[in-house]
C-alpha cells in the first residue's frame, strides 16, 4: 500500500515542501530511504522502527521503500522521522480515517523521534512555518518544545504533540490536540524588573556589548577597571560580538 505525507526542508533560510512517499509490499524484509537523503535522514530507519515498536505497535517485516520528493534536492536533518513514521503507519493500516486524505493534504509533520516514541525538538522551525504558510499549509504537527517558536507565525494552526501515540490518535479521530495560541511579540513588553541599565551611569559601549551578547546567546566576560572599558577596546568587543566572532 502507498501512503503520502508532507514535511518541509530548508536550504539556508528558504523552505521547500517535501512529499514522503511510503510503499509497503510483501517480500524479503527491507527498509530503504531514497531521494537524496543525508546520513542523519538515513539513520532515521532505526529510530522510526524502534519508536513504533516501543509505542506498542507491531512493526511488520515487509518490504518498505520511502521516497523523499523532489528527489533531486538534498534532504538534511532528523525532522523527517515523524512524517516517515506516520507514512509507514498509514500504509500498514494502523491509521484509518475517512477524512485522512483531506487532513494530510493540508498538514505537514516535523519532528525527530526518540526511541520511546517521544517527539523531540528540531532546528529551523520558524523559517519552516513561514514558508509553509506561503505554500497554503493550514496546520503543522510538531514537538511541544517547538510550539512557542512556531506560534509566532499567524494564520497557521500549530498542533504540539508529546509523542507519536498522540499523533496516531489525532489522525484516527480519537483525540483533539490543543493548538498553540498565536504569540504577538510586537506587543509592548510591560514586564518590570528590579534592576536595569538605567541605573548604570555612562559605559554605553559596555551596555551595548552586553545587549548584543544577551540577544545572540553569546558568552561575555568583562575584565578590568571601568576606566578600561571606556576606551576603544570595548567598542571593538561590541563589534566582534555583533559579527559572532566573540
Instruction: Give phi and psi for 90, each to the nearest 5.
Output: -70, -45
Are 137 and 64 contained in the same domain? yes
Could you tell me the three cell numbers for 26? 510483501
Are 154 and 58 contained in the same domain? yes
Nearest to 52 by CA among 72, 73, 10, 22: 22
Instruction: Please count the other Cβ atoms lying within 10 Å of the Cβ belonging to residue 175.
Output: 13
- pLDDT tens per residue, range 133-172: 999 999 999 999 999 999 999 999 999 999 999 999 999 9
Domain of 88 in residue numbering reads as: 2-171
Q: Which of the four pLDDT bands, split at 50, 70 and 90, describes residue 18?
A: very high
The reported pLDDT for the residue numbered 245 is 47
- Residue 68: inside a domain: yes
Are 219 and 154 contained in the same domain? no
- pLDDT tens per residue, range 167-203: 999 999 999 999 999 877 665 566 777 777 777 777 7
- pLDDT tens per residue, range 52-67: 999 999 988 899 999 9
Paired sense of beta strands 14-25 and 2-11, if any: antiparallel
Are 90 and 126 contained in the same domain? yes
- Residue 181: inside a domain: no
What total number of domains does the chain contain? 2
- pLDDT tens per residue, range 211-225: 888 887 888 887 776
- Residue 184: inside a domain: no
Residue 27 clears pLDDT 80, i.e. is over it: yes
Nearest to 10 by CA among 152, 125, 155: 125
Could you tell me which residues come within 8 angstroms of residue 198 by beta carbon, excluding any fewer than 6 positions away?
none
234 or 181, greater pLDDT: 181
- Residue 15: inside a domain: yes
- pLDDT tens per residue, range 71-82: 989 998 899 999
CATH code: domain of residue 146: 3.30.230.10
The reported pLDDT for the residue numbered 238 is 57
The reported pLDDT for the residue numbered 190 is 65
Nearest to 111 by CA among 101, 119, 123: 119
Are 152 and 225 contained in the same domain? no
- Residue 187: inside a domain: no
Handedness of CA 144, 149, 150, 155 (dihedral sign): positive
Instruction: Look up the pTM and report it.
Output: 0.76
**Sheet-wide strand order for 30-34:** 2-11, 14-25, 63-69, 30-34
Pairwise CA distance, residues 200 & 116, whole Å: 50
Amino acid at each position: 500500500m502507498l501512503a503520502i505525507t508532507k514535511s518541509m526542508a530548508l536550504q539556508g533560510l528558504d523552505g521547500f515542501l517535501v512529499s514522503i512517499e511510503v510503499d509497503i509490499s510483501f517480500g524479503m524484509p527491507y527498509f530503504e530511504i531514497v531521494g537524496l537523503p543525508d546520513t542523519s535522514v538515513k539513520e532515521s530507519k532505526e529510530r522510526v522502527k524502534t519508536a513504533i515498536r516501543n509505542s506498542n505497535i507491531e512493526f511488520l517485516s515487509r518490504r518498505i521503500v520511502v521516497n523523499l520528493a523532489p528527489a533531486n534536492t538534498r534532504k538534511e536533518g532528523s525532522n523527517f522521522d515523524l512524517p516517515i513514521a506516520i507514512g509507514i503507519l498509514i500504509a500498514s493500516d494502523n491509521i484509518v480515517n475517512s477524512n485522512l486524505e483531506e487532513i494530510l493534504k493540508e498538514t505537514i509533520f516535523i519532528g525527530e523521534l526518540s526511541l520511546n516514541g517521544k517527539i523531540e525538538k528540531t532546528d529551523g522551525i520558524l523559517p519552516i512555518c513561514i514558508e509553509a504558510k506561503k505554500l497554503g499549509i493550514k496546520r503543522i504537527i510538531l514537538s511541544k518544545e517547538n510550539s512557542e517558536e512556531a506560534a509566532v507565525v499567524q494564520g497557521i494552526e500549530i498542533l504540539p504533540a508529546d509523542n507519536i501515540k498522540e499523533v496516531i490518535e489525532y489522525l484516527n479521530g480519537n483525540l483533539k490536540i490543543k493548538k498553540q495560541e498565536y504569540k504577538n511579540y510586537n506587543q509592548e513588553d510591560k514586564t518590570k524588573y528590579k534592576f536595569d541599565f538605567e541605573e548604570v551611569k555612562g559605559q554605553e559601549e559596555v551596555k551595548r556589548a552586553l545587549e548584543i551578547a544577551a540577544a545572540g546567546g553569546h558568552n561575555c566576560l568583562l575584565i578590568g577597571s571601568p576606566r578600561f572599558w571606556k576606551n576603544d577596546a570595548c567598542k571593538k568587543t561590541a563589534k566582534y560580538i555583533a559579527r559572532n566572532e566573540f
